[in-house]
Structure 1
Amino acid sequence: MHKRTLLSTAAAAALGLIASSAFAQAQGNAQQLERVEVTGSRILSLNAESAAPIQVLSAADIAASGVANLQELLLKSPVFGTPAISRTNSNFSTSSAGVSTVDLRNLGSNRTLVLVNGRRYVSGVPGDTAVDFNTIPADFIERVEVMTGGASSTYGSDAVAGVVNVILKRNFQGLRMDAQMGVSEEGDDKKKKVSVTFGMNGSDGQGNLMVNLSASQQGAVYSRDRDFAAVDQASLGAFVTGDVKDVFTIARPFYSSFAPQGRFFYSDGTATRNFTYNAAGQQIPFSTNGPAGDGVGATGYNRSAVRTIAIPTDRLMLASKGEFNLNDSHTVFFESNYAATKTKTQLEPYPLDSTDLGGLIPAEFMVNGVKMRNPLVPDTIYNNAIDRDGDGLKDYNFTRRMSDIENRGNKAQRDTFRLLGGVKGEITKTWSYDAYAAHSFTKEGQTGTGQVNVMNFMNALSAVADVNDVNGNGNRTEAICKDAIARDQGCVAANIFGANTLSAAAARYIHAPSSLNTRITQTLVGASVSGEPFSLPAGPVGVAFGAEYRKETSSMEFDALTQTGLNAGNALPNTAGKFDVQEAFVEVRAPLLKNLPLVKTLDAQLAVRQGKYSTVGDTTSWNSGLDWGLNSTFRVRANYSVSTRAPNIAELYQAPSQTFPTGLVDPCLGKTLTGTDAVSVACRLVPGVVANMNANGGVFKLTQADLQGVSGFDSGNPNLDAEQGKSTTIGIVVTPKGIDLLKDFTFTADYYKIKIKDAINTPGRQYALNQCYGGGNTSFCQYITRRPADIGPNSAGSLEFINETSANTGGDFVEGVDVTATYRTRLFGGMFNSRIAYTYIMKAYNQATPQAERDFSQGEVGNARNRWVLNLGYNIGNLGVAATTTYFGQSYLDDVFMRDNFGSTNKMDGKVKSRAYLDLQANYKLGKSEVYFGIDNATATKAPPIISGLPGNTTGAETNASVYDAIGRRYYVGLRYSL
């Protein structure tokens, strides 16, 4: 990580870290005399303290971290939860792969409001409010202030969990350059970064202009290059034995039954038969994982050979800002940002089932009244196949990994542009104003590969012998497409029997490249006035009031085949949505008491915001707080807020978007034809389930392909209402200035509680399954699709799709304690620095519906009860060294999963051990230059095995890559130069 001083290094990994009082004190007396606006308030005040906890990350901290993206540093703070989107968890995303978002308190990135200079910033995710930190240059930032707790009364919707306020540099002069290179121990995850920041004042001192140009590249990390993820694997307990003792036992290999050489099914009238091909093109029995009883090895497909753990991301950013003083009292200003981001995902080729093409595939055809055979169909199928669809012609079905075409994946180009201009100044000595207007947009152009054109594929499979030499090449035995119109359009007969048997021409004809274009726009207009209308005995009363207008739009446009569902997937229609909101707010800060026994200061705050949304109508948010300074050592703060969040565009209007959920338990698994319990009775209402039971001795069974083949679609709900969050924080700040040994010691402790009513979430796929089958709420059955009875007895009744739609659910809740402590002292001629930030989660839960039981998540993977970050550093002369330890406490697998899958209520059965990651840094100054070197994850701590089939698994990483480091030890070196 970049190194500057040990103090800044110690702060680097500890965002979370310092309360506003400590920050204000550290800035020195000169800054105390300036009226400033603190995050969470619109009032300009000489007192930079707040009734709500505010944590600060400085420019020096950012520079000392060595990160290419600010998200990487923010996530070290224990107040942040798992990111909704990052480089290591978005390889399978259909859009927004590689976007970098943050999530306070694990309440969702849509409840964490990201601001730039106290104003909203355009989203990087279609339909959402989540800001992409790829678009904000880290070297252009003065500091980041994080306020935890509701702040909708100050900033409007989305600030239910808190605010991340990115404050850009101001009045920077000179030139600063930074160049860095890095690589992982395995030789991948290659990182390059270069940044130039320039600033100058006008010759008459009436203005300032700053510009930053930066570029970075972060390379790919593939699953095949990590031993723990190189081969498809699964939880033995979840997929095979059903025994709780096997939850963390790895079944390896656990290949996909969709293989490149194909798996072919035919019927001899008495049973379903299937076979595949070996490398020599010979027909053999299919054995997914091997060894088969006849000695045939594994014939399944290793998807991990293609998958990605971290997707490559390239960024180019240009940012500028400036101010020009019209006179001593009034200033015009502007801010502009442009960011171009490129990402590339890669996953295994498309797993095609002939049902994706409409069902059974004909082995023979009627042509001019004559029955003709497809000459490409092997005798094993043709001689044993029967007519299964009633047309008098033989048919068959198959599954096949379409490796002859291309790997699936997409290349995305995202462009973000933001331009803001305004005017600010003083009306009188104690009254000031600020007015601004801004327009921003994010657009994404995405091209995808690996999908299949359904109509073309069916034409290519409908092949006959060219007995009449219709193509004039003299060959009367070759296979050609039966349909003359299709031939004129380029149809080439498809040989799917064996690996790599498709000709290049056939592959081109079948392939369906995809495209997606998205656009997000945001228009802001706002004005506020701040002043001191009168004084109380304890000091002047501060007020702020103003109004804001915001309009947001979002659209997603797919290619024609995707829209109509003719690329072997479900139809994804184009979607678009918009809303606007008008808001007015007022805020008051009143000094109640001063200079009394046990009351050095006592200030009260109150803020109210009224909004009118075009979607949900009127909303009201308010906030109240007390800031009580007992003396120069002890300060107590308390805050209570009621925040509202209107549904975003995706939650309202999102068209069905496909996903592949893991960790689900089919309630029908193991149920019988004779069971009398509610679940068995409900399951037998499905014809496919009954067919499965009849074929498996009266018991419902699932194959590996069934377990791996569950999909689903997420969609919006235009009937949503706004949600309401209630937030309480109570804390103490200790700064013992009267004790010389502790004069540089700061301690804060804050209790927090956030409860969200009518929270906009999805109830959950497992909840829908449990309710549909014996849970008493059959309305959830409309979201579940099982495979039909005639697909074949082994797969009949298995889950095919489980869909979800946004809803006003029962609510979310989180409660806990944040503790931070910092200390610095001179030691052996140098400066020793230390800082720790610790978060303890007391309780966290959500409710799928108002009537549902609470699903507690404290202590589960991604929501560890105990998290902390510790920084130790030492600086002497031009040399600085530091160590940063980030700790995730012992966690457990989701309790609902353990209960439903294994009947276990003992959380120790799903225990995931704690993990600590050590980062080491060193820097040395040489005049105007600085050389720095760092090692991330210096101890090469391995991520815990949260493998396929377990909740929290990140596909391709074999762990939860949103929480744990799946890349390993990484090195970097850099050079910084200033003029």
Structure 2
Amino acid sequence: MTITISRRNAWRALGACGMALGSQGGWAQDGAADMPTVHVTGTRLAAPGAESPSPLQILSAADIAASGATNLQELLQKNPTLGTPAFSRNNSNFLPTSGGVTSVNLRNLGDARTLVLVNGRRFVAGVSGSSAVDLNAIPTDFIERIELLTGGASATYGSDAVAGVINIILKRNLNGLSFDASTGRSSHGDDFKKKMALSYGYDSADGRTSLMGHLAYTRQGAVSSRDRDISAQDQISKMLSSGLAADAFVPVRNYSVAAPQGRFFYNKDAAGKAGNYTYDAQGNVIPWSTNGDAALGLAATGFNRSAFRTIAVPTERYLLALNGEHAFTPAVIGFVEGNYSSTKVRTIIEPLALSSADFYKSSNGQVPAETMVNGVAVRNPLVPQYLFDRSADSTGDGLRDYSFSRRLAEIGNRQAGIDRDTSRLATGLKGTLDGWRYDSYLVYGKTREHQRADGQVDLQKFRNAMQAIPDAGGAAVCADATARAQGCSPLNIFGYNTISPAALAYVTVPSILDVEITQKLAGASFSGEAFALPAGKVGVAAGFEWRKESSSSVPDALTQGGLNSGAALPATSGSFSVREFFAEARVPLLKDRAFATDLSFLGAFRSGHYSTVGTANSWNAGLEWRTADTLKLRATRALSTRAPNINELYLPPSQVFPTGIVDPCSGVTASSTGARDTACRADAGVLANINANGKFTLSQPDIQALSGYNRGNPGLKAEKGRSSTVGLVYTPARFTFTADYFNIKIADAIVTTPRQYALDQCYNGGNSSFCQFITRRASNSGAFSAGALTYIDSAVTNSGGTGTSGIDLTGAWTGTLGPGRLAARLAYTYLKEFYNIPLPGTPADQAAGEVGYPRNKAMLNLGYQWREWTLNSTTSYIGASAVDDQLLAQFKQPAGSVKVGAKVVNDFQLSYALRKTLSLYLGIDNAFNTKPAPVISGLTGDTVGTETNASVYDPIGRRYYLGVRGSL
């Protein structure tokens, strides 16, 4: 809920909120007296003249229009208070679930600690098992403004508001029809964008009924990795092979060893040595050379995965929104809010890669080249003579065997079609009785997602199809009689395009995932003035809220059992409910004194009882001290709580494929010294590798095959975040300046153990408790080396804590400049500290100044209007950022010693008013085509397929759009 600031106090309120009049919204005004009424997030009090004691920034509908943003995340991510989102178009292509979701992350404290509200009330989540709202479900062109309240706000709004609140206020006052349509593309000819939006508002003649509706369609096209120079080649940071920090941003070709023609390993050649080979396009046997070797005349036989990957997933949305009110009596007003969105997303990655270790686990990845029939070893007729002659019995079963890796190009790309629908209905009564405002509401929200992923195989069927014997006529048939009866067709993996359509039809299988998220909400509150003190009336508010959250994510049976070729995903379901009571008070302490024009205390308390973790209490306290008409000081202290979500509590082991992991044991020899070296040699597989190679050596398959499991923890308890803010607001005529210091510390933070950190602590930090998350191969297996990392798991715990601190500065000015009017707004954040403590008693992992956590971040908005012309610009700045200190420690480099440079991105929009209610506009984003920072594969924070951190830097480049907007 929000409160109203009177017109007389609007200018000061805007300054107190840290807001500058943006672009078109400020040009039509000529002084504070004409400013529109403004609502302030952060309190439920209805006291006139109330202002936010916490840092608050506001983005208006004019800001949204001036950005040309199709999706709300595109605009919000430019604000320096926002951190790296867990989900976006640019980072979700490889996720097994939630592809194409767009979320927000205040202060980099996590999506789960950022509470998203719509019209002051919670919105149903878009990600199963979490509280993360999918901004795709909210129509951008139907937004009146967005209010970003940073700092703990759980006492006011409940759990999840540890980092702050993003309150999205939808339009309420609209008469007639308005429209906005645009189309655009990138300078590379991709990232096609279309938007069509219609809004209509109606007021009854007697003024008792108002109704508004909105209908929109948006489409954003795909961007392929191969179409950008930085990501066209499958590559890796040279630092990982050279060991030199200076090579961190030098890319080295790193093709996949799983190629469409296959790579085959045998146990002996004519000289009795093991080896491997592959095939050329004509089916000839040739030496394997992953990236090629010009000195030896060897062509690259590896596979360039980047030729098939996607930087930005294509997203299509249909949106419907309704707002309505009816005054039954002057004191009783009924309202209704409705939202519906249908989002269609398609994720695309390269064809499936398999190795024999995927489905011959019991034989350490060795595939029999023969089958025992009636006590006689019968050769598999699919196995070429070249390989059969070089195979030997390595498993002790009396049968020759071999191993392989192969890309199943015959199946085509792996693609997931995702249909995600979100619906929400809120209704209730509000009004004023005897000077007291009341608000009661019921809310029901549901998100449904259906995902079908193609390009995968049934591992058991694949094994059946590979194991063949000759029939009476000498033709190959599946060895297993039951499999033959079920349609098994022999599958030939040796060479290009050798898998027959019949074999593909037998082994291919889609994976299915169905998600359902439900939110039920009921509440009521009242607010008013209880009594008067010498300095003014005391405002109070109180109320209650009941909420129930349910979520289920159910993959098909094969996926649950890890029996197909995708990630093993278990079914996850759960629910919780909470009953909460809250109260607030605003107490005026001094007024019209020489040293205090106004001094007020604000306090709030909330007590919630969760079905999962029991009672959780939150509070906040703040002071507002206006020392002069244009200067105000403010301070808050808050205790915020966050109860664990459904995934954190109930997620069974769920498979993921982490990237950017560096094995601490790389390069360890039999005689090297140090605690790390001793810990590495204690592993039998690592020691066997050292004995065989002279030092611990990893192959590309070892690096590319790494997997791991995430798991929840039903024993979690609620985390507690303590936040403090101290700031000032200076508001002379036409100028606003705010400065705020923030400090947020979360005790017992619910965190997942970082994988690289677990590795470093196990081998470098002397903390053996982390070794429980790590599994290595006991011996070599075809393409895989003894001692290579197989799994690094991660668990959720109440571990140590996390925190951040820094300074926010905002400044704004609006006025006449030359023949026109200029509006300028600057927002800047300096990050002093950011840390995470993975386990109690362990060292804090400092991140401030690293990629994703820049020390300096800023946004400058400029708008100039002259007659019918309006020019808007947005300049985004991300300061120089260092490579993760945990990774640098592997190469004996100090923290902060290896950095990517600062990046500046400029966006412009020029519009021309054909008449008062109709405008044409032309926009260009990333106008100077600023290249993303080279966060190459292998460096912490890289986004697969982009060779940068696509959650932080723009991986797409320059983009244009043209549109028309107006009203009738």
What TM-score comes out, normalization by structure 1 length? Answer: 0.94
Q: Measured at CA, do residues 905 and 37 of structure 1 come closer, stay the same or move farther in structure 2, by a change above 3 Å?
A: same
Contact 1:692 1:793 in 2 (8 A): no
- 2:628 is paired with a residue whose SS is coil
By how many angstroms is 1:368 displaced?
Answer: 3.0
- Pair 1:167 & 2:169 matched: yes
| Distance (Å, rounded) in 2 between the aligned partners of 1:71 and 1:632 | 37
Aligned to 2:576: 579
1:914 aligns with 2:902: yes
Q: Does 1:479 align with 2:476?
A: yes
Deviations 1:172-204 (A, max 9, x none): 211101110000000000000000001101232
CA contact (8 A) 1:87 1:100 kept: yes
Aligned residue in 1 for 2:108: 106
For 1:696, the equivalent position in structure 2 comes to: 693
In 2, the alpha carbon distance for the partners of 1:793 and 1:688 equals: 15
Deviation at 1:790, TM superposition (A): 4.6
1:313-356 C-alpha deviation (Å, 9 max, x unpaired): 00001110111101111101111100000111111112211011
Alignment of 1:74-113 (within 5 A): 74-113=76-115
**2:366 touches 2:782 (CA, 8 Å); kept in 1?**
no
SS in 1 for 2:530: coil
1:449 pairs with 446, 454, 460, which one?
454
CA distance in 2, matches of 1:603, 1:271: 84
Letter in 2 for 1:733: V
Change in Cα spacing, 1:40 to 1:906, as seen in structure 2 (3 Å) is: closer
Q: Sort the Cα spacing of 1:398 and 1:18 in 2 relative to 1 into closer, same or farther, 3 A.
A: farther
> Match of 1:923, SS?
strand
Match of 1:151 in 2: 153
Q: How far off is 1:458 after superposition?
A: 0.8
Given that residues 20 and 49 in structure 1 are in contact (C-alpha distance below 8 angstroms), is that contact kept between their aligned partners in structure 2? no
1:774 is displaced (CA, Å) by 5.3
1:896 and 1:903, CA in 2 relative to 1: closer, same or farther beyond 3 A? same
- 1:549-604 Cα offsets, whole Å, 9 max, x none, are 11001111111111111113564221101111111011000111100102111111
Q: CA deviation at 1:80?
A: 0.6
1:596 paired with 2:590, answer no
Cα drift, residue 31 of structure 1: 9.4
Q: Of 488, 491, 505, which residue of structure 2 is paired with 1:491?
A: 488
Give the match for residue 637 of structure 1. 634
Deviations, residues 857-879 of structure 1 (Å, cap 9, x unaligned): 11111111111111222211111
1:519 maps to a residue whose letter is: E
* Matched letter for residue 242 of structure 1: G
How many Å separate the matches in 1 of 2:647 and 2:106?
Answer: 20
Measure the CA separation in 2 of the matches of 1:22 and 1:830.
Answer: 18
What is the Cα deviation at residue 826 of structure 1?
Answer: 1.1
1:331–1:22 Cα change, 3 Å: same
Matches within 5 A, 1:7-22: 19=17
| 2:329 alignment partner, SS class | coil
Give the root-mean-square deviation of aligned CA atoms.
Answer: 1.9
Match in the other structure for 1:866: 856
Q: Deviations over 1:686-726 (max 9, x none)?
A: 222122112112x2111122122222121211111111111
Give the drift of 1:778. Answer: 2.4
Give distance in 2, aligned partners of 1:66 and 1:17: 26
Could you tell which deviates more after superposition, 573-582 or 380-389?
380-389
Structure 1 residue runs of 4 or more that deviate by more than 4 Å after TM superposition: 20-34
> Could you tell me how far apart the structure 2 residues matched to 1:22 and 1:267 are?
72
Kept after mapping to 1: 8 A contact 2:736/2:812: yes
- 1:460 corresponds to: 465
After TM superposition, give the deviation of residue 496 of structure 1 in Å. Answer: 0.2
Match of 1:265 in 2: 265
Deviation by residue 1:250-273 (Cα, 9 ceiling, x = unmatched): 11x210111111111111284321
Shift of 1:829: 2.3
Query: For 1:898 and 1:18, how far apart are their aligned partners in 2?
Result: 43
Alignment equivalent of 2:832, drawn from 830, 834, 842? 842
Distance 1:17 1:341 in 2: 38
Equivalence for 2:242 = 241
For 1:140, the equivalent position in structure 2 comes to 142
Q: Give 5+ residue unaligned stretches, structure 1.
A: 1-15, 468-475, 737-742
- Residue 927 of structure 2 corresponds to 938
Seen in structure 2, the aligned counterparts of structure 1 residues 32 and 599 have a Cα distance that, compared at 3 Å, is: farther
Aligned-partner Cα distance in 1 for 2:39–2:551: 32
Q: For residues 956 and 19 of structure 2, what CA distance do their matches in structure 1 show?
A: 38
Gapped regions of structure 2 (runs ≥ 5): 1-13
2:384 equivalent to 1:388: no
- Does residue 409 (structure 1) correspond to residue 410 (structure 2)? The answer is no
Confirm or deny: 8 A CA contact 1:33 1:46 kept in the other structure. no
- CA distance 1:420–1:466, change in 2 (3 Å): same
Partners of 2:70 and 2:218 within 8 A in 1: yes
Aligned equivalent of 1:534: 531
Task: Provide the residue aligned with 1:953 in structure 2.
Answer: 942
**Whole-angstrom CA distance in 1 between matches of 2:672 and 2:519:** 57
Aligned to 1:433: 438
Partner of 1:564: 561
* Equivalent position to 1:728, from 724, 728, 742: 724
Q: Would the alpha carbon gap of residues 680 and 420 (structure 1) be closer, same or farther in structure 2, given more than 3 Å must change?
A: same
Determine if contact 2:826/2:860 at 8 Å carries over to the other structure: yes
Distance 1:285 1:17, change over 3 A: farther
- Secondary structure of the residue aligned to 2:758 is helix
Aligned ranges 1:514-553 → 2 under 5 Å: 514-553=511-550
Distance 1:793 1:55 in 2: 55
1:785 paired with 2:775, answer yes
Residue 615 in structure 1 maps to residue 612 in structure 2: yes
- Aligned mates of 2:230, 2:505 — CA distance in 1: 35
How many residue pairs match? The answer is 943
Letter in 2 for 1:323: E
1:799 aligns with 2:797: no
Deviation (angstroms), 1:662: 2.1
Picking from 112, 115, 118, the partner of 2:120 is: 118
Q: 1:23 Cα shift?
A: 7.0
Quickly say closer, same or farther: Cα 1:221–1:790, change in 2 above 3 A: closer
Residue in structure 2 matched with residue 4 of structure 1 by the alignment: none
> C-alpha separation between the residues in 2 aligned to 1:302 and 1:601?
67
Is the aligned partner of 1:705 residue 2:706?
A: no
Aligned mates of 1:550, 1:620 — CA distance in 2: 16
Question: Equivalent of 2:71, from 69, 72, 87?
Answer: 69
Do 2:647 and 2:712's aligned partners in 1 also have CA atoms closer than 8 Å? Answer: yes
- Shift, 1:20, TM fit: 5.5
What is the one-letter code of the residue matched to 2:376? V
Deviations, residues 230-265 of structure 1 (Å, cap 9, x unaligned): 111111111x211222111111x2101111111111
Map of 2:5 onto structure 1: none
Give, in angstroms, the shift of residue 906 of structure 1: 5.4
More displaced, 440-449 or 59-68?
Answer: 59-68
What does the per-residue CA deviation read over 1:93-121, in whole Å, with 9 as the maximum and x for residues that have no partner?
11111111011111111111000111100
- Cα deviation for residue 477 of structure 1 reads 2.7
Does the aligned pair in 1 maintain the 2:15–2:737 contact within 8 Å? no
- Distance (Å, rounded) in 2 between the aligned partners of 1:542 and 1:890: 47
1:820 equivalenced with 2:810 (yes/no): yes
Give the corresponding residue for 1:9: none
In the aligned structure 2, how far is the partner of 1:834 from the partner of 1:37?
A: 22
Amino acid of the residue matched to residue 708 of structure 1?
Q
Cα distance in 1, alignment partners of residues 626 and 646 from structure 2: 43
Give the distance between the partners of 1:199 and 1:30, measured in 2 at CA.
27
Deviation at 1:676, TM superposition (A): 5.2
Residue 527 of structure 1 and its aligned partner are, at CA, apart by: 0.6
Which residue pairs with 1:127 in the alignment?
A: 129
Give per-residue Cα distances to partners, 1:912-967, cap 9 Å, x unaligned: 10010011110011122110000001101111211111111111111111111110
Contact 1:288 1:300 in 2 (8 A): yes
Q: TM-score, normalised by structure 2?
A: 0.95
How far apart in 2 are the matches of 1:202 and 1:922?
A: 37
Does the Cα contact within 8 Å between 2:100 and 2:345 map onto a contact in 1?
yes
Change (3 A) 1:245 1:790: closer
Offset of residue 657 of structure 1: 2.6
Query: Structure 1 135/31 Cα, relative in aligned 2: closer, same or farther at 3 Å?
Result: farther
d(CA) in 2 for partners of 1:724, 1:197 = 42
* Aligned match of 1:654: 651
Secondary structure of the equivalent of 1:532? strand
